[in-house]
Chains A and B, each alone.
Chain A
Amino acid sequence: MKRLLQLIMITVLVAACWPTQAQHQLGSSRISGDFGFNGMYYIPDSLIGADAVDSKVRANAFLNLLYSNGGFSAGMRYEFYQFPLIDFEKLNYKGQGIRYFFADYKNDFIQVTAGNFYEQFGNGLSLRAYEERQLGIDNSLLGARIKVTPYKGICLTGVWGVERLNFDSYVGRKDFVRGVDGDFNFGEIFPKITEKGFILHVGGSFVSKFDKADDDVYITVYPEPDVNTSAVIAKDKLPQNTPVWAARASFGYKGFRLDGEFAQKMQDPNVTNDFIYRKGNALFLSATYSMKGFGVAASFIRADNMDFRSQRMMKTNSLLFINNIPAINRQYSYQLLANYSYASQPNSQIGVQLQVNYQIPKKSKIGGKYGTDLTFNFSRFHNIDKVWTPEALAIGTMSGTDGYTSNFFKFGPDLLYQDIGFEVHRRLTKKWELTLAYNYITYNLELLKGHEGIMRGHLVAADVLWKVAPKHSLRLEAQHFYTKDDDGSSIFGLLEYSISPHWFFSVSDEWNYGNPDKAHKLHYYNIAAAYVWRTTRIALNFGKTKEGILCIGGVCRAVPASYGVGLSVTTSF
C-alpha cells in the first residue's frame, strides 16, 4: 500500500506542477506534449480469477514531447512500462526507454521523416503502422519516409523501416518493410469535378517485407490415416521478400459514396496460415447514401490469407502486423456486449454490414417535439469457402502446399458472428433523453475465443439522461443480456453523475446471475470519480473487472480478471 501511495503522490505532483498553459512558445518555436499515467493496486480475488501478482502496484506511463518550428518538427516519447499493468505484461509489453523519436520537415512540396513514424496506405490493406495504446499495439516503423506532392491532389509516399516489437531491440533484426503509395484526388486536380458535386479518388500501393530465412521449418504431415510424420520446408523454399499490392478508388455524387479497395499478397508461408503458399487477397467495399433524415450504409469485406507480418514465425496477438484488415461490424459501447466483440479474421472472413438510420421528423405525431432517431443494423461474417488442393489432401495437411482453392463470393460453412440490432433514441423534453436498444448476437466461441460452441444472446438496454440543472446531469444505463450459452445471462447497471466541466462520478455493477456455475454468479462492481482541470484529468476507480476481451476496430486483446484500485492521470500542454 505504501508503494501505491508513493506512486499516487508522485503522479499527482507531476500533474500539478506541469505547465498548464497550452503549447509553449519560444520565438517561432513551439513545444507541446502530453503525459499519461495509468496505475493500479491489485487485490487477489480467486473467485473472479484475479490471481496474486508479483508486484501489487503496477503502472503504465509515458511522456510525449513535440518541438516544432515552421515546417520542422521533432519529437520523442518516453515510455515506462517496466512494471506494467498485468494486461500489458501478458502481451510482453514490458520495458522502458525512448521508443519513439523522429525528426520531420515539411513544406508544400515535400515531407521527409527520419526516425519512428506511423503511416497508412488507403484503408490499410497493404500498410497500417499505427498505435493503439489501450491494446498495447505500437507498430511504428523506425526508418525513413518521404512524401511528395508534385501537384495539388497528387501525393506520392515512400517508406522504409523496421517495425517496432514491444521493447525488443532493433539491433540484429533481420526483417524490414518498404513500400510506396500513390494517391490521386481528381477533385483537386480538376476542380470542376468537385464543383459539379462529384468525388473521384484513386490510389495504389505496393508494400514488401523482407524476412531473412535462417531456419528450416518443420511441420507434421499425415501421408496415411492415423500416421504422422515430420516434414521440412527448407529455408531456401521460404520467400524472403513478400509483397502486397493494393488498388483503391472512391466515387461520390451528392449524398452517394462508393469506396473500394482490393489487395493481393504474394507467397507468404507463415505460422498463422499454416505455412501455405497460396496468394492472399482482400476486398473491401463500402456504399453509403444519405439525405435529410435518412441514411444507409452497406459494407462488404472478404479476407483470404491476408495476415501480413514482418516475421513469418510471429503469431502473438497483433504483434508485427504490417497491414490491417478492418472489422466492419457496428461497434458498441454496451458493457455486456464487450465480451462478444467481433475480432477481425485476416486469414479467413467474408461478411456484410448494413446500417439504416431514419429520423422520424420533429414535431410530428410519432416523432415528438425533438424527433426520434431509429437505427437498424445487421452484420454477418463467415469464414471463407475452402477446398483443399490435391497436394494438401495427399499429405493430409495444407502446410507446405498451396493449401486450398476458394470460391470468391461463397460464404464458408462456419458462422463467425452475426448481429441484428435496433436502436431508438429520443429526446423527450429539454431535460430528458432516452435510448432503447435491442441486439441479437450470434458469436462463434470456438473460432473467435478458442472456447467450445456458439453463443446466442439477446441484449436489451436503456440509457436515460437527465439534465438535473445547468452543468449537472445524471445518466442511468441498464442492460440485460440473456443467453443460455457460455457464462450465461448478466445484468448491468450504471449511474453516472457529471458536474460539467470538472467532476464526474459513477457507480456500476455487472451481475453474472445466469452463470451455470453457482460459485461464479458474481458481481463485478466499480466506483469511479474523475476531476478535470484545464487539460489535466485525474481519475480514481475501485472495483472488479471480468476476464474477457477488449476490441477496438476489430483488433482485440485478452483482458485478465482484476480487482483493485486504479489511478489514471492524463495531461497535455
Chain B
Amino acid sequence: MKKIIFPIIILSMILLSTSCDRVEGPYVVINDQEGVTVDFPDLDPASVYRKVLIEEYTGHRCPNCPTGHEKLEELVTRFGDTLIPVCIHATSLAAPTAEFPDDLRAEAGLELATDWQIDGIPAGVINRADEPMGSIPARWLSKVNAVDRTDIPAAIQLINQFGVTGAGILKANVKVTLLKPYNGQLRLSLFLVEDGIVSPQLDGTEVLEDYVHNHVLRSALNGTYGIKLTDATPENGLDTYLLASSISFAGTSWNPAHCSVVAILYDKENYDVLQVERCPVTR
C-alpha cells in the first residue's frame, strides 16, 4: 500500500493543478461603446481624395526648428487641406526650463519619438512610411510628392461634439469606409492638436518670446497607436467602421476654439498611413 502513496500524491497534484477558469459575461466591449451620437452624411466615394500626414518633430529650445515650421507652413499653403500636419514636441530640446516654462510635450508624442528613433530635430515623418529618425525639412516636399494620391483606399468622416456629452468633454465620432479591398490589418488613431499657442521659441541664438506654435500634439484620444479596427482582414472591401472616443478638457490649458482632432488610419504592420482627416473641435 505504501508504494502507491507517492504516485497517487503526484497524480493528485496534477489533478489539482488542472484548473478551470470561468469567465462571466459580457465578454466583449464594442469600441464605440460610447455610441456614435451623430448622423454621418452619405459618402460620395468620388469626392474622396487622399490626404497626407506629416508629423514634424520639434522643440522649443531647438535653434533650427523655426526653419522647419516655416517649411511646414509653406507645404500646408501649397497642398491646402490635403496635407495634415502634427507637430510633436519631443527630445531633450522640448523639455521645459525656466526660460521655456511651457511643456508642449504629450505622452503620445514622446512615445512616437522614441519608436521612430528621433534624435535630431527638426525631423519630419511623412505618412509614417519614412525611414527611422525622420528626414530633414529640405526633403519633405519630395516625400510628400512621393505619396501616390491616385490610390485612395479609404475615407474618414469625422464629426466632433464639444460640451454635448458633458461640460468640457470632446467627443470625436468617426466613420471609416474602406473604398476597396485592403489586404492588411488596420488601426485608427485620434490625436488632439492645438494651434495658436503663444510660447517662447529659440531661433538660432535668439529667443522669440511671442512665438506662435501651431498643430501642436496635445493628446491622443485613444492611445498612442489608437485601436485596431479588426484582427482580421475584412472580407468585404467596402467595410464600414463606426467608433467614438472622448477626452476631457477639464484641468488643461487647451483652447477648444483652437483645437482640432486628427484621425489617422494606418496599417498595423508597416504603419503606412492610408488616410488622414482633420476636423476642428468647435466650428
Q: Is the pair B28, A150 in contact by a Cβ cutoff of 8 Å?
A: no
**Partner of B11 from A148, A238, A239 at Cβ < 8 Å:** A148
Q: Is the pair B21, A267 in contact by a Cβ cutoff of 8 Å?
A: yes
Contact A146-B10, Cβ < 8 Å, known A178-B17, A242-B21, A277-B27 = yes
- Quick check: is A229 within 8 A (CB to CB) of the other chain? yes
CB A176 to nearest CB in B, in angstroms, measures 10
- Beta-carbon contacts of A129-159 to B below 8 Å, as 1s and 0s? 0000000000000000010101000001111
Please, which residue of chain A has its CB at the minimum distance from the CB of B29? Answer: A232
- Beta-carbon contacts of A90-119 to B below 8 Å, as 1s and 0s? 000000000000000000011000000000
A-side contacts of B20, CB under 8 Å: 208, 239, 241-243, 266
In the bound complex, how far is the Cα of B16 from the Cα of A158, in angstroms? Answer: 11
- Quick check: is B230 within 8 A (CB to CB) of the other chain? yes
Q: Is the pair B18, A243 in contact by a Cβ cutoff of 8 Å?
A: yes
Q: Is the pair A233, B230 in contact by a Cβ cutoff of 8 Å?
A: no
Q: Is the pair A218, B22 in contact by a Cβ cutoff of 8 Å?
A: no
CB A420 to nearest CB in B, in angstroms, measures 36
- Beta-carbon contacts of B1-26 to A below 8 Å, as 1s and 0s? 00110011011001101111111011
**Partner of A234 from B14, B29, B30, B230 at Cβ < 8 Å:** B29
Contact A277-B23, Cβ < 8 Å, known A220-B232, A233-B28 = yes
In the bound complex, how far is the Cα of B232 from the Cα of A109, in angstroms? Answer: 52
Q: Is the pair A228, B240 in contact by a Cβ cutoff of 8 Å?
A: yes
A-side contacts of B239, CB under 8 Å: 220, 228
A-side contacts of B21, CB under 8 Å: 239-242, 266-267
- Quick check: is A227 within 8 A (CB to CB) of the other chain? yes
Q: Is the pair B11, A158 in contact by a Cβ cutoff of 8 Å?
A: yes
Looking at chain A's contact residues, the main secondary structure is strand
Q: Is the pair B227, A237 in contact by a Cβ cutoff of 8 Å?
A: no
Interface residues of B in 202-257 (CB under 8 A from A): 227-232, 234, 239-243
CB A61 to nearest CB in B, in angstroms, measures 36
Please, which residue of chain A has its CB at the minimum distance from the CB of B244? Answer: A229
B-side contacts of A395, CB under 8 Å: 28, 30
**Partner of A206 from B10, B18, B25, B32 at Cβ < 8 Å:** B18
- Quick check: is B31 within 8 A (CB to CB) of the other chain? yes
- Beta-carbon contacts of A167-203 to B below 8 Å, as 1s and 0s? 0000000000011100000000000000000000000
- Quick check: is A54 within 8 A (CB to CB) of the other chain? no
In the bound complex, how far is the Cα of B27 from the Cα of A277, in angstroms? Answer: 8
A-side contacts of B22, CB under 8 Å: 239, 266-267
Q: Is the pair B230, A230 in contact by a Cβ cutoff of 8 Å?
A: yes
CB B47 to nearest CB in A, in angstroms, measures 20
A-side contacts of B14, CB under 8 Å: 158-160, 178-180
- Quick check: is A226 within 8 A (CB to CB) of the other chain? yes
**Partner of B229 from A109, A146, A178, A230 at Cβ < 8 Å:** A230
B-side contacts of A238, CB under 8 Å: 23
A-side contacts of B231, CB under 8 Å: 217-219
In the bound complex, how far is the Cα of B11 from the Cα of A159, in angstroms? Answer: 9
- Quick check: is A49 within 8 A (CB to CB) of the other chain? no
- Quick check: is A328 within 8 A (CB to CB) of the other chain? no
Q: Is the pair A221, B28 in contact by a Cβ cutoff of 8 Å?
A: yes
Q: Is the pair A180, B15 in contact by a Cβ cutoff of 8 Å?
A: yes
- Residue with the highest number of chain B CB atoms closer than 10 Å, among A110, A226, A229, A395: A229
Using A228-B234, A230-B243, A399-B28 as known contacts, list a sample of 13 further A-B pairs with CB atoms less than 8 Å apart, ordered by residue number in A: A148-B8, A148-B11, A156-B11, A208-B18, A208-B20, A220-B234, A226-B240, A229-B241, A230-B228, A241-B18, A266-B22, A277-B27, A401-B27
A-B contact pairs, 5 of them (CB 8 A): A178-B14, A208-B18, A229-B243, A232-B227, A233-B27
Nearest 7 pairs of A and B residues by beta carbon: A400-B28, A208-B18, A239-B21, A158-B14, A148-B7, A218-B228, A218-B231
